[in-house]
Amino acid sequence: EVPEIGSPARTKAILNRYHLVAKKSLGQNFLSDLNILRNIVAAGDVTDQDNVIEIGPGIGALTEQIAKRARKVVAFEIDENLLPVLDETLMDYDNVKVINEDILQANLPAVVASEFEPGPPVKLIANLPYYITTPILMGVLQSTVDFAAIVVMMQAEVADRLVAQPGTKAYGSLSVVMQYRAHVEVAFDVPRTAFIPQPNVDSAIIRLTPREALPVNPYEDKALFGFVKGCFAHRRKSLWNNLQGIFGKQPEVRERIETVLNQTGISRQLRPERLTLINFIELTNAFHNEGL
């Protein structure tokens, strides 16, 4: 009986047999720990009803664990050298499809419509290529696909920023935007020793699930995101300073900024990192109403 792909012995054997050298430029670090691989799939509560999208299957270690539990897995892999490898390592699974495409170019709704039967939950599970963690998550959360759960491994430092609360160092525009889009939590941490080759950073598994409705919504998502970015342009400066950076310093502009701050009851002295998601939404709407 052949050991599973994610066992250290099998991972090494596959890498040797295909003379594979992990490509740093593509963020290739192969997870080689069966317990962790199984726990990732468990964090997504994957059942035989679920259709799963995977990003970056590599040599197929996580894909295999998903395929054992899910209805179907569609995996996007950019590195064409890995296609013959995946053909072999996943040959026993008839519910896996590998697509040789850059995930940032992929049309997810079209793939979901053509590869999955309509109805059952669609989930996303991946050990992400770390160099594009943020664009991938932004793209996925902005696509019209309604993911029932997203379970992704990333650099621990980025995971900290995703779940950070107001008033902490890690809190920034990424925290606000992600927490606006989804309920975000850390499922568990993963040490660098679990990979071949080992990366220079520790990792964490993040779980994103649909968030409960907010008491107030921005008039437009893009406006909220732009406003949040602008507010964090100078973290060490006051909100007042940052707002003038966004809208301008002319006396009549300043007057309108004051009006909005009075309306919303938010102090101009605050540092942007003190503002909650709700504060940001209220300010976005109030500035819009004030014609700014």
Q: Where is the binding site for S-adenosyl-L-methionine, in residues?
A: 29, 31, 56, 77, 102, 127
Residue number, 28 or 179, with CB nearest to ligand SAM: 28
CB of 3 to ligand SAM, least distance (A): 15
180 contacts 228 by C-beta, under 8 angstroms: no
- Report if residue 61 touches ligand SAM, rule: CB under 6 A: yes
Pairing mode of beta strands 51-55, 195-196: unpaired
The dihedral formed by the CA atoms of 125, 129, 134 and 138, expressed in degrees to the nearest 10: -40
Interface residue with ligand SAM among 33, 64, 77, 273 (CB under 6 A) is 77
- Chain centroid to CA 52: 15
- Report if residue 44 touches ligand SAM, rule: CB under 6 A: no
CA-based end-to-end distance of the chain: 67
What count of residues does the chain have? 292
Q: Point out the annotated binding site.
A: 29, 31, 56, 77, 102, 127
Task: Measure Cα distances from 209 to 46, 47, 83, 149, 184 in Å.
Answer: 13, 16, 31, 5, 7
- Report if residue 172 touches ligand SAM, rule: CB under 6 A: no
| Residue 242 token pair | 């940052």
CB of 127 to ligand SAM, least distance (A): 3
Site for ligand SAM in 112-131 (CB under 6 A): 127, 129
| Residue 41 token pair | 């799939």
- Report if residue 78 touches ligand SAM, rule: CB under 6 A: yes
- Given the rule CB under 6 A, which of 53-61, 107-115, 264-272, 284-292 is the region that contacts ligand SAM? 53-61
- Report if residue 76 touches ligand SAM, rule: CB under 6 A: yes
Counting residues that bind ligand SAM (by CB under 6 A) gives 22
d(Cα 152, Cα 47) in Å, to the nearest integer? Answer: 17
- Given the rule CB under 6 A, which of 45-53, 70-78, 137-145, 280-288 is the region that contacts ligand SAM? 70-78
Interface residue with ligand SAM among 48, 88, 92, 102 (CB under 6 A) is 102
CB of 145 to ligand SAM, least distance (A): 16
Task: Measure Cα distances from 160 to 34, 165, 189, 252 in Å.
Answer: 25, 10, 11, 40
Q: Which residue has the tokens 């012995």?
A: 9
Identify each DSSP E strand in the chain by its residue range. Answer: 30-31, 51-55, 72-76, 96-99, 122-127, 147-155, 183-190, 195-196, 203-209
- Report if residue 29 touches ligand SAM, rule: CB under 6 A: yes
* Residues at the interface with ligand SAM (CB under 6 A): 26-31, 55-58, 61-62, 76-79, 102-104, 127, 129, 132
